[in-house]
Structure 1
Amino acid sequence: MNKGIVTLSAAAVISSAFASPALADTYIVKSGDSLSKIASAHHITVAKLKQMNKLSSDSLRINQKLTVPDTKVTLKKTNSVTYTVTKGDSLIKIANKYSLTLAELKKLNNLKTASIYIGQKLIISQTKEKTVVTLPKPANTEGKTESSAYLVKSGDSLWKIASQFKTSPQSIIDFNHLKTDALTVGQSLLIPKSGTAPAPAPAPPAEAKPNPLPAKDASSVIAMAKKMIGVPYSWAGASPDGFDCSGFIYYVFKNSGYQISRVSAATYYDLGKSVAAPKPGDLVFFSTNPASSVLISHMGIYIGNGQFIHASSSKGVQISSLSMSYYQTRFAGYRSL
């Protein structure tokens, strides 16, 4: 039996080879600093430092910004992970396998439809990596943050990676200029490190499969969800400008105070804890094929009395009844986060 093939390709473009006076950085003056001390730390003369900053005197003020020679090399490259379509594959099956939404997979491959063919190569992850290498400095620069590279694996989260490297999720977000805490398999991250490592970050509620939401927290989640009623549906949307089903869940829980990753409906299904008797705030899932609960394609938030709120592809965010025949025949189960 043929199996799908996943390959990794990368093209690297070196934007700077070595540090030179033409490369500049910014230094913020601290208490106790002097022109002589700053110049020595950056391997230049006081005269050169004054020339670079057009200074007419040696006086400085705290928080003053000075231009100093850069000591970093920046390397840029794009990583693409591809999958080769085999017999029996479908676009939603591949998306679920690699924790993507159907919209995300189509966008990665510029697909207008869900049609695919055997032997077709699909991009399942594409990241633009920026690596900053810090060149050696004198001893008085001790404590400056450096970095190491890390390649995201299946099952990883910012919390898990931060705990492994004894840093914080926010440090990783800031260091990589991330706009979301969602990760993709094969994504390259720069992990900040310094002389003193902070305590390991605690595991997030979603990734650790916690107990169901307390009643008061469930109320805040449902209240937030109801505020979004009427927002239109949008492929891969995760903001009040437009939602897809999983983007709606991400936005509501995130803005209700929960640490939650932006993943596909299928991944939320895998992360959740199965419940037989749902409570308000639990998640409800539906499958593509009424005869199978394997391919999860839609989800919503259970609000009680047999109703749930979700981002419908036809009417946007709305409240629907589980007694409707369409949802009855596609029902896959409940999960709690």
Structure 2
Amino acid sequence: MKKQILTVAATAGFLFTSFNGAASAAVHTVKSGDTLWGLSRTYNVTVNDLKAWNHLSGPTIYVNQKLTVDAPAGTTPAQAATATTTTTYTVKSGDTLWGISRQFGVSVGQLKSSNGLSSDLIRIGQTLRVTGQAPAVAPVAAPVNTAVASASTSASALINEAKKYMGVPYAWGGSSRSGFDCSGYLQYVFNKVGISIPRTVATIWNATTPVPSPRAGDIVFFETYKAGPSHAGIYLGSNKFIHASSSYGVTISDMTTSYWKARYLGAKTKF
């Protein structure tokens, strides 16, 4: 079965399995768009719980993968020994405390407390301590596929794909290498890395998850020729984004210029 790397907001839907008539843990069949972070919110558990119950060593899950989403039968959260774990993370271009907290399954408050931060501002190259509770003995339901690829790797793949089309001319309604409009370009690039998004800027806006500040791979939206989101591109970091411009074709622009800064609506993510 072809595995598809997943990103963004969770979709509900799970089934129950039983063995020899005994009650068992709830199982969620992964769908396109699911993430561990989104599932943790849907089922009111932690990302670390989901990783432990399913033998996952990273944040990536795959279409049709079956995940245990509560404590397996015969176990209770109180019975699982826990140990405090601390690791370090070096801030990269496009990172935010919110994004880092989502990656490691901790809260923004925990990150700020562990690092003596009084605001949400972080800088490239800064080393952050990430402290949380990880199960020392992980209860499991059944062996699962443990192949992983991080969301940051997926974002890097997206950006690398996006840059392949630098200089392709702009074409209204275009969605091929002979010419793109802005949403046609986004849909084409995302599809190339296995992520499905809608065709128009407005529907992409509705199908993505808001983030407080953009990180590499997120989609940045602008209000240009009409009210509401009417133009979009892929954020690269350092206030740069790549998009299909009506004047220059596929190009990289600076969000801090007066034109784009005045029209910026916000950032949303598929990761």
Report the TM-score range of the alignment, normalised by the length of the smaller protein.
Answer: 0.3 to 0.5
Query: Which of 1 and 2 has higher RCO (CA within 8 Å, sep 6+)?
Result: 2
Provide the TM-score with structure 2 as the length reference: 0.45
Rg larger for: 1
Provide the TM-score with structure 1 as the length reference: 0.37
Structure with the higher strand share, 1 or 2: 1
